[in-house]
C-alpha cells in the first residue's frame, strides 16, 4: 500500500512550470534584484553626469599634458573590459589598499569611471558641435571665456546631453549584470537561485525565469529609450 501511494504521488500531475514564479516570495525577490540593478545604475549615472561634464571640459584643454592625461584615461576605460575593471577594483583594493569594498560599491565605482569617460567624450563632442559664431558673439559682448562657457555653452551642452545620458543609463542597466560575478545579488543572480532550487522538480524552469527577467529589463529600458528619442528629436 505504501509503495502504491509513492508511485501514485510520483505520477501525479505537477503544477505548470510558470507557477514557480509565484511560489513563496520568488517574484518579490526578482523585483528586489531588479531594484539593486537599478540602484547601481542610477547612482553611477548621477555621479557620471557632473564628473563627465568636468572631464569633457578638461579634454578641451590645449596643453599637451592635459590632452595626454585625458586621452590615456579615455583609452584605458575603452580598451579594458568592464569585467576586468570590476575584478581589479573588487579584489585589488583589499590586497593593495588594505580595505575591502563591497560588491555593490565596487560596481558603482567601476561604472562611474566608465560613465565619466563616456560622458566626457560626449560633452567634448557636444561643445565642439556648437557653432563657432556663438563664441565670437560672446567675445564681442565682452564675456570672458569662463563666462561664455558658463552662461552660453554649458546650458546648450547639458540640453543636448540629456537624451544621450538616458541612452547611457540603458547601457548601464544592461551592463550591470556583470556585478553578479563579484557576489552582488541582483536580478540575474536571483533568477539563477530560483532555477537551482527547482532544478530537479522543474528542469525547464530556466525559460520562464529568464523570460520574466527579459521582460523586466524591457519594462525599464524601453520607456527610457522612447523618452530619449523624443527629446533628441525635440532638441535637435
pLDDT digits (tens, 9 = 90+) for 116-157: 998 888 888 877 877 778 878 888 888 887 888 788 877 777
Residue 79 lies in a domain: yes
**Which among 95, 183, 167 has a CA at the least distance from the CA of 192?**
183
Confidence label for 9 from pLDDT (cuts 50, 70 and 90): very low
Q: Are 179 and 104 in contact (CB under 8 A)?
A: yes
Q: Say how many domains are in the chain.
A: 1
Residue 112 lies in a domain: yes
Q: What is the mean pLDDT of the chain?
A: 82
Q: Are 114 and 120 in contact (CB under 8 A)?
A: no
Residue 223 lies in a domain: yes
**Which among 66, 106, 115, 57 has a CA at the least distance from the CA of 86?**
106
Residue range of the domain that includes 205: 17-234
Residue 89 has pLDDT above 50, yes or no: yes
Residue 158 lies in a domain: yes
- Entry field: residues in the chain: 236
- Max mean pLDDT range (12-16, 55-59, 125-129, 159-163): 55-59
Specify the pTM.
0.80
Residue 35 CA from chain centroid, whole number: 12
> Residues of the chain with pLDDT > 70: what percent?
91
Q: pLDDT by residue (tens digit) across 27-48?
A: 899 999 999 999 998 899 889 8
For residues 87 and 96, what is the distance between their CA atoms, to the nearest angstrom?
13
In this structure, what CATH number is given to the domain that contains residue 224?
1.10.3720.10
Amino acid at each position: 500500500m505504501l509503495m502504491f501511494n509513492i508511485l501514485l504521488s510520483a505520477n501525479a500531475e505537477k503544477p505548470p512550470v510558470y507557477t514557480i514564479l509565484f511560489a513563496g516570495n520568488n517574484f518579490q525577490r526578482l523585483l528586489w534584484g531588479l531594484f539593486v540593478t537599478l540602484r547601481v545604475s542610477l547612482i553611477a549615472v548621477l555621479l557620471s553626469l557632473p564628473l563627465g561634464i568636468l572631464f569633457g571640459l578638461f579634454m578641451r584643454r590645449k596643453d599637451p599634458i592635459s590632452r595626454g592625461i585625458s586621452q590615456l584615461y579615455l583609452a584605458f576605460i575603452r580598451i579594458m573590459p568592464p569585467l576586468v575593471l570590476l575584478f581589479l577594483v573588487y579584489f585589488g583594493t583589499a590586497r593593495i589598499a588594505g580595505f575591502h569594498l563591497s560588491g555593490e560599491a565596487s560596481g558603482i565605482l567601476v561604472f562611474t569611471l566608465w560613465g565619466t569617460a563616456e560622458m566626457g567624450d560626449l560633452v567634448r563632442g557636444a561643445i565642439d558641435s556648437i557653432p563657432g559664431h556663438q563664441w565670437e558673439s560672446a567675445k564681442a559682448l565682452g564675456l570672458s571665456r569662463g563666462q561664455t562657457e558658463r552662461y552660453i555653452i554649458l546650458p546648450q551642452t547639458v540640453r543636448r546631453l540629456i537624451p544621450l545620458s538616458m541612452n547611457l543609463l540603458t547601457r548601464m542597466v544592461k551592463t550591470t549584470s556583470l556585478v553578479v560575478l563579484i557576489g552582488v545579488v541582483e536580478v540575474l543572480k536571483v533568477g539563477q537561485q530560483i532555477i537551482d532550487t527547482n532544478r530537479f522538480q522543474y528542469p525547464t524552469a530556466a525559460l520562464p525565469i529568464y523570460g520574466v527577467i527579459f521582460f523586466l529589463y524591457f519594462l525599464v529600458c524601453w520607456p527610457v529609450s522612447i523618452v530619449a528619442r523624443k527629446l533628441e528629436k525635440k532638441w535637435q
